[in-house]
Amino acid sequence: MTTAPASGPSRALCLEEFALHSFDKLRYGDTDRQGHVNNAVFATLLETGRVELFHQGPTLLMDTGCSLVIAHLSVDYLRELHWPGRVDIGTRVLSIGRSSLRLEQALFQDKRPVARAETVVVQVSNETRRGHALSQELVARLAPLRFPLSDSAVPP
């Protein structure tokens, strides 16, 4: 069972199609009474991918004096996730707005997709706590992370 991003036709999810790859190790405490990883843990796993996207290298992937906040998060649960194991996280930019980004993420266990998520992240001014337009420099830094992957974006 797979799902497609809202912007494209139905297709299978593949980690290699994501601009950024991260991973997390599952903990026994992540499981619930049904013996699989609890659905609430999926949001934490997705956070790992977002944090690694915005905290690449010595500079943050946001404008000075700004922060990023989640305005929307939707998760499609595709399969059960089981402990023990590792979860691979794919993250990519679907679209860039005036002050926001629409991200697609997917979680994979043993190369099989287990969840797909879409997140809208808004850049806000730390002073006013209101939406703050993305600078041209930031938009240029985000462009290689867009889907479909450009030739300049090479997954690690």
Name the residue with higher pLDDT: 9 or 116: 116
Instruction: Give the mean model confidence (pLDDT) for residues 3-32.
Output: 79
Count of residues in the chain:
156
* 36-88 pLDDT tens trace: 999 999 999 999 999 999 997 777 899 999 999 999 999 999 999 999 999 99
What confidence category does residue 1 fall into, taking pLDDT thresholds of 50, 70 and 90? very low
Task: Round to whole Å and give the CA distance between 130 and 144.
Answer: 27
Q: Residue 152 pLDDT > 60, yes or no?
A: no
Q: Residue 2 pLDDT > 60, yes or no?
A: no
Q: Residue 133 pLDDT > 60, yes or no?
A: yes
CA dihedral 5→53→148→135, nearest 10 degrees, is 110
Q: Residue 148 pLDDT > 90, yes or no?
A: no
CATH superfamily of 15-145: Hotdog Thioesterase (3.10.129.10)
Closest CA relative to residue 128, chosen from 64, 61, 70, 65: 65
> Would you report the helix, strand and coil content of the chain in percent, each value rounded to 5?
20, 35, 45
Q: Which two tokens stand for residue 35?
A: 């013996």
Res 149: pLDDT: 58
**0.75 exceeded by the pTM?**
yes
Q: Where are the domains of the chain?
A: 15-145
Task: Round to whole Å and give the CA distance between 107 and 88.
Answer: 6
Cβ–Cβ < 8 Å for 75, 42: yes
Res 3: pLDDT: 39
Instruction: Give the mean model confidence (pLDDT) for residues 126-151.
Output: 89
